[in-house]
């Protein structure tokens, strides 16, 4: 398979409500990504779109609806959707377009506009549940995350205080991110612990709220990059994805086995045998603060139960030994589901090409891992990138 590089990235502001339509947001992010790669739409062979449930936008065939904004007009174009996992998975779909030799240059454009759904997109999340087993109980999506968080805390004896440190770190990291919705330079652990209890153990500041936004990246083959003399590139050296059953009440929620399997696939492809030593920084999916810890363990960057300790010891700070979510993550920048590709794949690109400005990790980094997660707590998508 051919070597694939990320050569450009762009994103819109992430906000609870944006005036722009989904198409307009896609256009802005896509144009920025193309401009940063020094390309035009004519250079692009194929386009991949990633976006989460149609019901958020209230437009079925949402991929087709967004097409024009994604630069896909009259080109081979595919929309992919793996729940929250789309944030990283769509870049994997882009990767195989290029790695296979089918395309030399590919756009990947992700969008989410959650504000259109009234009064709150939570009512649409109700549609993800099993109609017979779960839906009669009228579940709220936050319930299952509360259950997973509680199980994780119980098995390892994790204190809420140590989980709150993730929210504090990421909201502070996001201060350097010009698109951030939730940056807060002064937030403390006490603020998180004293915030409103929503579904214990989940409190208001443990969660990243709904958001509007779009993000885009440009991928190209090694040959294309050499031919066009493109200097800023970061290689996608490993990809992996894995899904568990929707029968989520049949597994122990304390450990995301599916993330570990996806990570092992990606590491094998990237020739990484000791991830903790060979990976310099990480952008795991953090729609809730505990998820960063859960996913660090799933990504095999911490032993089971060790992630809260690493966090407490400062290892995961931007200037720590293993910076985690230097972008500010979903907790700090925002959570327009699929568009979080901007903090995940986008951030890896910007960090590895020294464009992250105030967010730049102060020491040299060569290899990063990004991960997203979704569906009924069952989907893991993992990408390793190297300078």
Partner 1 sequence: MSERIKKWPGVELSAADLNEGKVTQTRFRPNAKYAWSAGEAMSRFLAELQNGRLIARTCHSCKRILFPPRMFCESCFRPTDEWTFIQDTGTIETFSISYLDTDAKRIPDPILVGVVSIDGASPKMGMMHYFGDMTKEQIRIGMRVKAVWRPWEERRGSVLDIRHFGPLKEDAK
Comparing CB distances to partner 1, the nearer of 116 and 278 is 116
SS3 (DSSP) at 69 = helix
Comparing CB distances to partner 1, the nearer of 15 and 269 is 15
Q: Are strands 77-80 and 46-51 parallel, antiparallel or unpaired?
A: parallel
Q: Is 96 exposed, middle or buried (0-12, 13-18, 19+ CB in 10 A)?
A: middle
**Residue of the chain from 1, 40, 58, 319 that contacts partner 1 (CB under 8 A):** 58
Contact (CB, 8 A) for 301 and 50 = no
* Shortest distance in whole angstroms from residue 341 CB to partner 1: 13
Cis (ω within 30 of 0) for the bond into 180?
no
Contact string (CB under 8 A) for partner 1, positions 83-122, x = contact: --------------------------------x---xx-x
Contact (CB, 8 A) for 9 and 217 = yes
The answer to whether 151 contacts partner 1 (rule: CB under 8 A) is yes
Encoding tokens for residue 250?
């049949």
Cα 268-269-270 angle, rounded to 5 deg: 90
Taking CB under 8 A as the binding criterion, the range among 79-87, 185-193, 241-249, 289-297 that sits at the site for partner 1 is 241-249
CA distances from 373 to 203, 325, 379 (A): 20, 15, 5
* Shortest distance in whole angstroms from residue 117 CB to partner 1: 11
Contact (CB, 8 A) for 93 and 80 = yes
* Shortest distance in whole angstroms from residue 113 CB to partner 1: 11
The answer to whether 154 contacts partner 1 (rule: CB under 8 A) is yes
- List binders of partner 1 among 248-307 (CB under 8 A): 249-253
Q: Please give the Cα distance from 79 to 47 (Å, whole number).
A: 9
**Residue of the chain from 41, 75, 126, 276 that contacts partner 1 (CB under 8 A):** 126
**Residue of the chain from 47, 66, 103, 146 that contacts partner 1 (CB under 8 A):** 146
Among 87, 81, 66, 53, CA closest to 24? 66
Residue ranges binding partner 1 (CB under 8 A): 9-20, 25, 28-29, 32, 36, 58, 115, 119-120, 122-123, 126, 131-134, 136-140, 142-144, 146-148, 150-151, 154, 177-179, 196-202, 212-213, 245, 247, 249-253, 342, 346, 350, 355-358
């Amino acid at each position: 398979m051919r070597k694939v590089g990320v050569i450009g990235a762009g994103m819109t502001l992430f906000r609870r409500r944006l005036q722009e339509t989904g198409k307009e947001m896609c256009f802005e992010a896509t144009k920025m990504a193309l401009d940063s790669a020094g390309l035009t739409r004519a250079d692009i062979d194929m386009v991949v779109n990633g976006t989460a449930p149609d019901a958020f936008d209230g437009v079925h065939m949402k991929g087709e609806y967004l097409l024009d904004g994604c630069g896909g007009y009259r080109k081979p174009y595919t929309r992919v959707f793996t729940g929250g996992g789309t944030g990283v998975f769509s870049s994997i779909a882009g990767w195989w377009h290029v790695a296979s030799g089918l395309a030399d240059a590919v756009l990947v454009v992700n969008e989410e506009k959650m504000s259109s759904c009234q009064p709150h997109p939570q009512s649409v999340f109700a549609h993800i549940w099993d109609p017979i087993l779960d839906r009669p109980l009228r579940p709220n999506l936050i319930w299952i995350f509360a259950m997973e968080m509680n199980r994780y805390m119980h098995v390892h004896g994790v204190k809420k205080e140590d989980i709150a440190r993730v929210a504090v770190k990421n909201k502070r990291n996001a201060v350097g991110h010009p698109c951030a919705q939730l940056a807060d330079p002064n937030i403390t652990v006490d603020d998180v612990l004293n915030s409103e209890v929503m579904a214990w153990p989940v409190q208001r500041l443990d969660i990243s709220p709904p958001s509007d936004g779009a993000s885009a990246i440009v991928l190209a083959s090694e040959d294309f990059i050499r031919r066009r003399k493109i200097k800023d590139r970061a290689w996608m050296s490993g990809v992996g994805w894995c899904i568990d059953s929707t029968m989520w009440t049949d597994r122990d929620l304390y450990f995301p086995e599916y993330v570990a399997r996806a990570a092992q696939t990606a590491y094998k492809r990237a020739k990484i045998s000791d991830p903790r030593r060979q990976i310099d920084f990480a952008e795991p999916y953090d729609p809730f603060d505990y998820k960063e810890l859960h996913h660090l363990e799933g990504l095999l960057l911490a032993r089971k139960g060790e992630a809260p300790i690493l966090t407490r010891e400062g290892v995961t700070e931007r200037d720590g030994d293993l910076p985690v979510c230097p972008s500010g993550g979903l907790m700090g920048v925002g959570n327009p589901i699929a568009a979080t590709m901007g903090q995940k794949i986008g951030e890896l690109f910007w960090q590895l090409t020294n464009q992250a400005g105030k967010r730049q990790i102060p020491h040299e980094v060569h290899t990063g891992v990004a991960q997203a997660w979704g569906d009924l707590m069952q989907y893991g998508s993992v990408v390793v990138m190297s300078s």
